[in-house]
C-alpha cells in the first residue's frame, strides 16, 4: 500500500487505487503493478529494440522529441489536471511544469543536429583518428512524484536522442501522470519497445531493474537511503549510475540586501509546490542587524498564502502529496517545537469543511533555530522555513557550508565582492544571487555536491556525459 494509494490483489495482480490528497475519499483512478516476469520482458525487448534505435539518424530521433513536445504542449491542461488530482500540486504550477517539459523536449530535439565526436591529430599522418559518442544501451529511469513531468522528461529525452532505449519506473504516487506522459512519447511515433513503462515499488520492480544484467545504466532521483542502495548495487553489477538526491538549501540575507525582494524570494523558495522540492529553501541565515525587520517582511509575505485545493485559482499552496509525507512534515514541526525553536507562523494541520479531510499543512516559519536542531539539519520536504541569526557574512557562509547536502544556495546582497566570493566558496552545485534556491533552465547543468548527488549532472550538454560513452577509432591506410 502506498501513502494515498490503496492496493488490492486481483488474480495475482496488484491494482493501486489513487486518491486525491486534497480529498482522500475521492478515487481518481487506478494503475496495475507490473509483474516481475513482465519487467524482465520489458528490459529484454528494450535491449533488442536498441539495436535498431541507435542506428537511426540522430536527426530523426530528435524529430520524435519535437513531435512529443508539440503533443505535450497541446495537452497541457489535461496532463496538469491529472497530476493535480493525483499528487496535489496546484494546477497553475503543473501547467508550468508541463510547458517546461515541452521546452526540455525541444532542447534535446536539437541535440540530434549537434556533433557527436571530434577529429584528432595522430602521430602517424597517414592515419585518421577520431572519437565518437555512442549510447550506453538500455537505461533504467527511476523517478519521483514531486515533479511528475519535468524530471522524467529530462531523463528520458536525452537518453532517447543519444540512441539509448529506456525502461521507466515512475513513483507509484504519480503513476497515472506517468502513464499519460508515456502515451505522449508513443503518440509522437517513438516505438513502444524503445520507451517502456513499468509500475511498482522500489523493493520489487525497482530492484529488478537495478540488478537486471541487460540494464546498462540507472538514472535515479529520490531519497538518499535508496540512492545509496542503487549505488552499491550498480557498482556490484558494473553499471553506470546517476543519482540526484536530497537537499537542505540555505539562503543568506545580508544587511545591504533588498529586503523586500529577499523576503519574497525566500518565501517562494520555501513554500512553492508546498515545499516539496529538493531545491526548496529550508534555512535562512540572517545577519543580526536586519533580523527583526526581515522576519516582519517574511511574515507579511507568508500571510498572503491561501492554502487549499490546487484547482482553486486563488490558492497559493496545495496539499501535501500523501498521507505518509503529511505525517512526516507534522512530525518535523512537532520536533522543532520540542527542541525549543520559536514557532513564528503556522505549524498546524488544516481541517474543517473547507479541507475535506485533505493533507493540508499551514506554511510554517521557525525563528530562534540553532544549527544543532533536527529541523536545521534534516530534509523535511514540506512548507517549513527555519531562520538562524548570524553576526556577519563570514559566519553565515561557514554555517551554510556545514551541511551534508550541497544542492542549491542563495545570497541576497548588493555587494559585488561578496557575491563573487559566495559564488567561489559556496559548496553547492547551484548558486543563486538575489534569487530563490529553486529553478533551473533546460540548457544549464543541474545537480549538487556532497550527499546531494553522485557527481554527474542532468540537463544541458552535461547530460551527454551520462547517456553516452566514447568510442575511439583509428583508420590506417591498407597500404603504407
pLDDT score of 479 = 66
| DSSP output for 193-228 | TTEEE--S-IIIIIHHHHH-TTEEEEEEES-HHHHH
pLDDT in tens, 30-56: 999 999 999 999 999 999 999 999 999
Taking only Cα atoms into account, the Rg of the chain, rounded to an integer number of angstroms, comes to 23
pLDDT score of 10 = 45
Q: Is 244 annotated as catalytic?
A: yes
8 A C-beta contact, residue 294 and residue 286:
yes
Grid cell digits, residue 419: 557575491
pLDDT in tens, 320-349: 999 999 999 999 999 999 999 999 999 999
Question: What's the CATH architecture for 5-245+454-473?
Answer: 3-Layer(aba) Sandwich (3.40)
The whole-angstrom separation of Cα 385 and Cα 325 is 17
| Local structure of 404: helix, strand or coil | coil
The whole-angstrom separation of Cα 445 and Cα 261 is 26
- CA neighbours closer than 13 Å in the CB half-sphere of residue 368: 10
pLDDT in tens, 236-256: 999 999 999 999 999 999 999
Give Cα separations from 196 to 41, 54, 55, 59 (angstroms): 10, 16, 19, 22
Grid cell digits, residue 160: 532517447
The whole-angstrom separation of Cα 105 and Cα 171 is 21
Grid cell digits, residue 221: 532521483
pLDDT score of 328 = 97
Grid cell digits, residue 92: 497553475
pLDDT (mean) for 350-356: 90
Q: CATH 3.40.605.10 spans which residues of the chain?
A: 5-245+454-473
8 A C-beta contact, residue 131 and residue 471:
yes
Q: Taking 80 as the threshold, does the pLDDT of residue 179 lie above it?
A: yes
Q: CATH 3.40.309.10 spans which residues of the chain?
A: 249-433
pLDDT score of 289 = 96
The whole-angstrom separation of Cα 348 and Cα 361 is 6
**Which phi and psi (to 5°) does residue 293 adopt?**
-70, -35
194, 203, 150: which is closest to 172 by C-alpha? 203
Which one of the listed residues 86, 111, 173, 244 is annotated catalytic? Answer: 244
What torsion do the CA atoms of 118, 121, 123, 126 make, to the nearest 10 degrees? 90
Superfamily of domain 249-433: Aldehyde Dehydrogenase; Chain A, domain 2 (3.40.309.10)
Q: Taking 50 as the threshold, does the pLDDT of residue 3 lie above it?
A: no
Amino acid at each position: 500500500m502506498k501513502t494515498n494509494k490503496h492496493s488490492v490483489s486481483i488474480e495475482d495482480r496488484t491494482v493501486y487505487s489513487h486518491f486525491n490528497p486534497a480529498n482522500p475519499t475521492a478515487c481518481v483512478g487506478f494503475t496495475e503493478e507490473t509483474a516481475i516476469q513482465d519487467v524482465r520482458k520489458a528490459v529484454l525487448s528494450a535491449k533488442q529494440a536498441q539495436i535498431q534505435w541507435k542506428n537511426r539518424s540522430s536527426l530523426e530521433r530528435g524529430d520524435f522529441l519535437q513531435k512529443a513536445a508539440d503533443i505535450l504542449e497541446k495537452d497541457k491542461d489535461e496532463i496538469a489536471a491529472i497530476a493535480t488530482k493525483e499528487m496535489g500540486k496546484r494546477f497553475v504550477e503543473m501547467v508550468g511544469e508541463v510547458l517546461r517539459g515541452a521546452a526540455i523536449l525541444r532542447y534535446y530535439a536539437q541535440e540530434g543536429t549537434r556533433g557527436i565526436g571530434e577529429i584528432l591529430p595522430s602521430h602517424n599522418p597517414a592515419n585518421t583518428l577520431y572519437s565518437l559518442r555512442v549510447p550506453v544501451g538500455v537505461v533504467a529511469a527511476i523517478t519521483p512524484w514531486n515533479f511528475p513531468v519535468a524530471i522524467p522528461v529530462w531523463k528520458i529525452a536525452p537518453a532517447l536522442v543519444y540512441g539509448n532505449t529506456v525502461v521507466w519506473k515512475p513513483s507509484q504516487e504519480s503513476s497515472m501522470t506517468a502513464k499519460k506522459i508515456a502515451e505522449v512519447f508513443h503518440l509522437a511515433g517513438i516505438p513502444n519497445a524503445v520507451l517502456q513503462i513499468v509500475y511498482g515499488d522500489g523493493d520489487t520492480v525497482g530492484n529488478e531493474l537495478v540488478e537486471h544484467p541487460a540494464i546498462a545504466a540507472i538514472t535515479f532521483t529520490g531519497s538518499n537511503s535508496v540512492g545509496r542502495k542503487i549505488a552499491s548495487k550498480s557498482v556490484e553489477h558494473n553499471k553506470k549510475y546517476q543519482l540526484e538526491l536530497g537537499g537542505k538549501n540555505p539562503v543568506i540575507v545580508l544587511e545591504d540586501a533588498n529586503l523586500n525582494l529577499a523576503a519574497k524570494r525566500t518565501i517562494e523558495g520555501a513554500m512553492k509546490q508546498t515545499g516539496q522540492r529538493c531545491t526548496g529553501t529550508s534555512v535562512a541565515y540572517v545577519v543580526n542587524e536586519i533580523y527583526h525587520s526581515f522576519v516582519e517582511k517574511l511574515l507579511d509575505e507568508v500571510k498572503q498564502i491561501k492554502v487549499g485545493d490546487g484547482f482553486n485559482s486563488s490558492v497559493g499552496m496545495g496539499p501535501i502529496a500523501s498521507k505518509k509525507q503529511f505525517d512526516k512534515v507534522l512530525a518535523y514541526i512537532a520536533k522543532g517545537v520540542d527542541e525549543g525553536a520559536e514557532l513564528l507562523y503556522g505549524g498546524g494541520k488544516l481541517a474543517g469543511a473547507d479541507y475535506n479531510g485533505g493533507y493540508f499543512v499551514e506554511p510554517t516559519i521557525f525563528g530562534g533555530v540553532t544549527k544543532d536542531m533536527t529541523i536545521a539539519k534534516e530534509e523535511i520536504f514540506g512548507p517549513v522555513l527555519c531562520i538562524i541569526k548570524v553576526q556577519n557574512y563570514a559566519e553565515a557562509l561557514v554555517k551554510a557550508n556545514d551541511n551534508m547536502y550541497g544542492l542549491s544556495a542563495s545570497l541576497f546582497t548588493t555587494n559585488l565582492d561578496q557575491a563573487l566570493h559566495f559564488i567561489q566558496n559556496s559548496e553547492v552545485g547551484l548558486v543563486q544571487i538575489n534569487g530563490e534556491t529553486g529553478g533551473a533552465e533546460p540548457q544549464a547543468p543541474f545537480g549538487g555536491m556532497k550527499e546531494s548527488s553522485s557527481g554527474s549532472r542532468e540537463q544541458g550538454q552535461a547530460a551527454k556525459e551520462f547517456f553516452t560513452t566514447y568510442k575511439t577509432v583509428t583508420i590506417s591506410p591498407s597500404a603504407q
